Structure 1
Amino acid sequence: MSSSDDIVIENGVMNITAVKDGLHANDYITLDGKNINITVNAQGDGIESEGYLTVDKATLNLSGGGKGLNAADYITLTSGTFDSYGYAEGGTISGGTSATLGQSSSGGGQPGGPGGNQPGGPGGRW
C-alpha cells in the first residue's frame, strides 16, 4: 500500500502483497475493531509507522523480509493475535497474544512480551 500520514482501520479483512511495506504511515497507525483480520506478505516491513502503532482486537498474520511490526515511537498491543515471521520493534509492547518466529538481535534485554507472562527476548527485539 502507499504511504499515508495516518491510517485508521476499524473493520475488515485485508490480504496485502507488497514489494515494500504492507502498511506504512508517516504519523500513526491504529487498528481498532473486533473484525479486523490483516494478512501481509511484504518484502519490507509488514506494518510500519514513523510515529506510533496501536493494535486492539485485531488478528495480524505478517510475513516477509523486514520486521513484522515497526514503529519509531511505540507499539501498543492491547488485545488480539499477532503472528509474525520477523520481529516487532518499538518502545512499548504490551497486551495481546503473540507468536513470533525468526530474527532477534543481541543487546539489551526486552521486557516481558504481550500478555505480561512471557519472558523477555534475547536482545533488544522479540
Structure 2
Amino acid sequence: MRLSIDTTDRLAVTDVTARVADAVPSDVERGVCTVFVPHTTAGVVVNEAESGLLDDVEAALARLVPDDDYAHDAIDDNADAHLRALLLGSSVSVPVADGSLDLGTWQSVLFVECDGPRTRSIDVRVAPTIA
C-alpha cells in the first residue's frame, strides 16, 4: 500500500505509526511489515515520537550535515538532504503479531523529510510468515 505524506518544512519528523498500522491486514497472525521510502532525500526510522526528541532529531541532523557548499548543490542545491537521508536509511522492518505492529512500548515509525516541503510517499508491505 502506498501512503501519501505532506510535509511543510525543509527538515521535519512525522510520526506515521498509526497510518502504517492501519495498512496491516488484521488477518496476519505473524509477519513482517516493511516501510520503504522511495525518495533519496527522505528516510524512515523507528524511535520514540516524543515532541522534544523529534525536535532533537531535526537539530542533530542539521548539526551532523550542515547546509554547506557541496558539489551536488550545483545541480539541485539539496546535497545536505541527500546526505541526511543517507544516514537515516530508506526502510525499516517491524514484526507483526496478531494483525498489529509489534513495536516496543516507546517505539514509533517516523518519516523524516530532509528536502521539504513536499508531498511524499511511503510504501507499506506486509509479508506473512509461518511460525
TM-score (norm 2): 0.22
TM-score by length of 1: 0.23
Larger-gyration structure (1/2): 2
**Higher fraction of helix:** 2
Greater strand fraction, Structure 1 or Structure 2: 1
